[in-house]
Structures are given as structure tokens and as C-alpha cells.
Amino acid sequence: MDSTKEEAELLFDPKTMRKTRPGLKRLILITSVLFSFISGLPFLLKSIEIYRSPLPFREIHDLSERIELDSLYIPCRFQVVALGFDGNESVVEKLGFEVLEKMRELNGNDLVCGGCGSNYTVSVTVENEGGNCVSYGDTGFWRCGAVDAFEFGKSDDDELDELLVKGLGGKVYSVVVVNRDEEVRVVVGKYRHAWVTGRVGEMNVVDNVASVFVKFFMKGGKEEGMAQGEFMPVGADGKVVLSFSLLNADPQDWIY
């Protein structure tokens, strides 16, 4: 018993131990802290409040029904420029007709809202090695000799991209075809144009050009089995569309 009392005396130092109960000073301190917290609580809740405006569900539903009944289609013009080819007016007209028919075959009934639908035209310009041009359709956007076919062998893709936008203007969807003794290569640029280089015959020109027009420019994606090439998504207004949602999405699911 005595040992326990001695241990208690060692634990409690009489010099530092409080001899009176907590009084008014502690009560005032606790009350002031509690009052400060309660008075600041509304400001804290206000600062983390999330404002949620009511969504116009009825208007969204009406717009969705209207789009389903009468889809929005943009009138599109497509232009084919063949460099280093020979052809007369009948050959050029035939090429334009075949490209248009191939596009309709590839497009089918799978019409994308906000795309071209079935409201589109195809124009063709064939420029031979002498710089003479034979045209079919509305080809006012291409100036003969604007781009030399030799540039496709000595310039990189970025330089060609800027060079073509000067020659084509970026006002219509365009594909430039250059017949060269190399593997076929398809590149889609940033300004509503693309170029196809390599050993391409007449039928290959039709297939490659129609595929680029439909799968890249009209639908904004690419399918398996296409010729391997660089690709950048292009919207119906000609602007390149990039976002974090596109980076991890299937190209078939891209929405502009």
C-alpha cells in the first residue's frame, strides 16, 4: 500500500499539478472556438456546393426525334486530282462516274447524321507530265501546275500538307493521286485533303480514292483492311478534331 502511494506521488509533481478546477477562462476559450467553427460552417458548405442546373429533357427528346425523322446532311463536294496520268475528256468523265458509283456502293444506307448523306458531287482533274489539264465537273478549286508531282518524292508529309493546302485551298474534300514506282501509300492531311502515291492503275485509283472519301471524310474513321497510312480525324467543316475521348475510342465510334 505504501509503495503504491509513493509511486503516485512520483507521477504527480505538486509544483506543476493544478490544484483548482477549470474555470471561466477555459469555458470562454472552448465557447469561442466552437462559435467560430459554427459560424464558418455555412461558408465552407457554400464553397464546396455543386450547382446543378435542370436539364432540358423535353427539348432534348424533341430534338432527338426530329433528327431521327429528318437527319441533317451537309452538301459535300469531292475533288480528285491525278498527277502524271494521261487521259482525254471521256476517260476523265468515266473516272469521275466510277468514283461516284464506288462511293455510293461503299456508303450504302449507312448515312451518318451531320455528314454528306447522298448529297455530294465528284469532280476530276487529270494533269499530265506536260502540265496540261483535262477536267470533269466543277474543278475551279484546282490550278494546273500548282503542285509538282516531283514534290511527293522529296518532301516530307508536313511539307506536302502545307503545299497542298495552298494548291487546293481546303474548300472541298480532295484526293491527289500520284503514280510512282513504289508501294501504294495513303496519307490523310489536316486540311480536308489526302494523297495517294505508288503504283496505282485506273481501278486502284477508283478504289483508293472512293475509300478515302467515304471512310475518312464522310464517316470520319477507317476500317480494317485499308491500305496502311497516316490518319488524322477531319470533321465535316474541315477542322481536325482531337480530344481525350477520341484518343481511347474506336474510330468507328467517333462523333463530331
Helices (H), the chain: 2-11, 24-47, 57-69, 89-107, 151-154, 157-168, 202-211, 244-247
Distance (Å) of CA 46 to CA 5, 36, 41:
56, 16, 9
Query: Given pLDDT bands bounded at 50, 70 and 90, which one contains residue 252?
Result: low
Please say whether the beta carbons of 174 and 196 come within 8 A. Answer: no
Query: Given pLDDT bands bounded at 50, 70 and 90, which one contains residue 2?
Result: low
| pLDDT digit string, tens, across residues 74-112 | 667 888 888 877 777 888 888 888 888 888 888 776 665
Q: What are phi and psi of 166, to 5 degrees?
A: -75, -40
| pLDDT digit string, tens, across residues 103-116 | 888 877 666 555 66
| Nine cell digits for residue 57 | 429533357
Which candidate, 173, 27, 32, places its Cα nearest to that of 99? Answer: 173
Indicate the SS3 state at residue 186.
strand
